[in-house]
Amino acid sequence: MLLPRIESRILRLRDQKVIIDADLAALYGVPTRRLNEQVKRNRDRFPADFMFQLSAAEKAEVVANCDHLAKLKFSKSLPFAFSEHGAIQAANVLASPQAVEMGIYVVRAFVRLRELAGIHADLANRLAELESKTDGLAERTEGLALDHDTFRRNTRNQLKQLIEAVNQLMAPPDPPKRPIGFVTPEGEKGKG
């Protein structure tokens, strides 16, 4: 599926979700050099919140954390990072049919990640509320019979284990690894 592949290319840099120029160019079916040329020719369409150039430290971090961007290590130039709006604008300045089509998928990937982040935040708030209620319950039951104290302690431990398990489930998953071997493009039927 195309959306998960695009989502795995979206990174978090400078507290915003971005996609690196090499990944965006590959999606749009143009060389990175051509994408960056068009951006430079249309610089007024790319304000700072649409696109920024990575620092050397950010580039090193991206190369270290993203296996598919390893070849950037040998590039002398610093890559650009495009926000959701910058990716749309890049599709507009390239104006190729593939760029326009893929631009829609890129926007959908950014939107989906934003929705998932909202769901996780809501769930985290609910868990924090549940945890504070259980702590309050434990404080109110102090001083009761020993059997009740043991029951309270066990219940509280079980709830903490449940909360920890849900928090682990909420942690963002590792990006999907690229399969090893020959993989046919989606939708293409085998020949033979």
**Residue 17 DSSP one-character state:** E
Quick one: tokens of 31? 């060389």
- List, in order, residues 6 or more apart from 20 with CB less than 8 Å away: 9, 11, 54, 62, 66, 69, 72, 79, 80, 81, 82
Q: What is the pTM of this model?
A: 0.61
One digit per residue, pLDDT tens: the chain, 192 residues?
A: 677 888 889 999 999 999 999 999 999 999 999 999 999 999 999 999 999 999 999 999 999 998 889 889 888 999 999 999 999 999 999 988 889 889 888 988 888 888 877 777 777 777 777 777 766 655 555 555 556 667 667 777 777 777 777 776 666 656 656 666 665 655 444 444
Neighbouring-strand partners of residue 81: 20, 52
Distances (CA, A) of 7 to 72, 84, 112, 114, 172: 20, 12, 8, 11, 12
In whole angstroms, give the CA distance from residue 139 to residue 114.
Answer: 38
Question: What is the full DSSP assignment across 117-139?
Answer: HHHHHHHHHHHHHHHHHHHHHHH
